[in-house]
Amino acid sequence: MHNFEWNLPTRIVYGPGQLARLGELTKTYGKRAFLTTYPKKEKRAWILDKAISSLEKEGIEVVLYDLIEPNPRVTTVDEGVARFLESRAEVLVALGGGSVIDATKYISSTAYNGGSSWDYVVLAYRKPRQFTGSYPIVAVPTVSAAGSEANAGGVLTNWETREKSFSRSAYRIPKVAIIDPEVIASVPRQVTADGGVDIFSHLLEHYLTSPQESEIADRISEGLIFTLMEHLERALENGNDLEARGQIALCALLGWSGLQALGRMGSIPIHYIEHQISGHYDISHGRGMAILLPAYLEYFAGVRTERWAKLARRVFGIVEGDDVKAAKELTRAVVTWLKKIGMHIRFSDVNIGSEKFERMADDIIRMYGQEDGRVPGPRPMERSDILEIFRRSL
């Protein structure tokens, strides 16, 4: 286990109906709130209405910014920064999935620090600007996936350069996260499944790549994977199963909070690769992860064999005693699960061909490559490794 620091400063407020407490929980941070969300959809309009009335009930003035798209773009965020500064709001309320919460983090911290949100995004070929502060954020996740409601990360897409990358800053970790299963229950089945695969991938990334051993992190991750798999099936069967929705929401929150990697932080190669797919094609991140997972697991099974085998045995009940064979079984077990939840998909299922494979592989090396030009993973990944994973996912 390596040395670490871990702090979860977000106040987690859980329970069906807790959205009604938004105003009460926000008023500590200011009297004018900049409320960020997606463009209004009639089906889920009640959530926004309830959020606004809760804020107004506590005497908080609401300035609405409802222009945030999935895979949020620099242009949208920078426009949000200008509107936020104009509004003179003191606190931001993010009501949406990972896209809205990430965008809100960039609006908040860029407004505090100046410049464009893209200046702060991590790219291997330049030195990003560092945030030195942020305005307070209250997050209400409407989707269980990214875990952004209680961590320092944020992903942003530059549609002009087709680059999608991230930054981390403890300043903009949300002060409060309201996890209301009634809100999340309104998410369509497909979004639930996409989010489930994203959570699953978060629990795998460090587990499979870290050179360190930390049994507690392994056990936490395994427990979260079990909980996720069991309750995802329930939520897909019955979207109004609030207990299942709540359990999945906590898997999302804890699964990308750092808790799942205590003492054995590794790297996030599937994310490095996927970001360029959704950066170029604007598909959902969870679908991108589902496309890549089988090929990634199969291709690198022989590299960190003992980690692959451990996961196969501990979570998927593989009894094979030989590590090499058990590691290979992992892919099959994960594919079986993906099929069960209707997420065994390939590039062809989302109408993506091989036309941009070379360009995307170049992007990944340029954006995430270390000094030797290779990208961190189970072993340092070359361009040819990435291309092979793309090809196997066609």
The residue range among 122-130, 134-142, 196-204, 327-335 that interacts with Fe ion, by the rule CB under 5 A, is: 196-204
The residue range among 21-29, 37-45, 67-75, 197-205 that interacts with Fe ion, by the rule CB under 5 A, is: 197-205
CB of 109 to Fe ion, least distance (A): 20
Tokens of 270: 């599937």
By the 10 Å C-beta count (0-12 exposed, 13-18 middle, 19+ buried), 87 is classed as middle
Question: Is 227 or 305 the residue whose CB approaches Fe ion more closely?
Answer: 227
One symbol per residue from 200 to 239: x for binding Fe ion (CB under 5 A), - otherwise; what is it?
A: ----------------------------------------
CB of 198 to Fe ion, least distance (A): 4
The residue range among 37-45, 164-172, 191-199, 370-378 that interacts with Fe ion, by the rule CB under 5 A, is: 191-199
Candidates 102, 149, 182, 198: give the one binding Fe ion (CB under 5 A). Answer: 198
Using CB atoms, what's the residue nearest to Fe ion?
198
Within a 10 A sphere around the Cβ of 45, how many other Cβ atoms? Answer: 10
Let me know: does 149 contact 10? Beta carbons within 8 Å.
yes
Count of residues touching Fe ion (by CB under 5 A): 1
Question: Is 151 or 227 the residue whose CB approaches Fe ion more closely?
Answer: 151
The reply on whether position 102 binds Fe ion by CB under 5 A is no
CB of 151 to Fe ion, least distance (A): 11
Nearest to 98 by CA among 44, 160, 21, 157: 157
Question: Is 38 or 200 the residue whose CB approaches Fe ion more closely?
Answer: 200
- CA 155 to CA 336: how far, in whole Å? 30
Within a 10 A sphere around the Cβ of 158, how many other Cβ atoms? Answer: 18
- CA 288 to CA 198: how far, in whole Å? 9
Within a 10 A sphere around the Cβ of 251, how many other Cβ atoms? Answer: 28
Q: Which residues of 221-236 are buried (b: 16+ CB within 10 A; e: fewer)?
A: bbebbebbbebbeebb
Interface with Fe ion (CB under 5 A)? 198
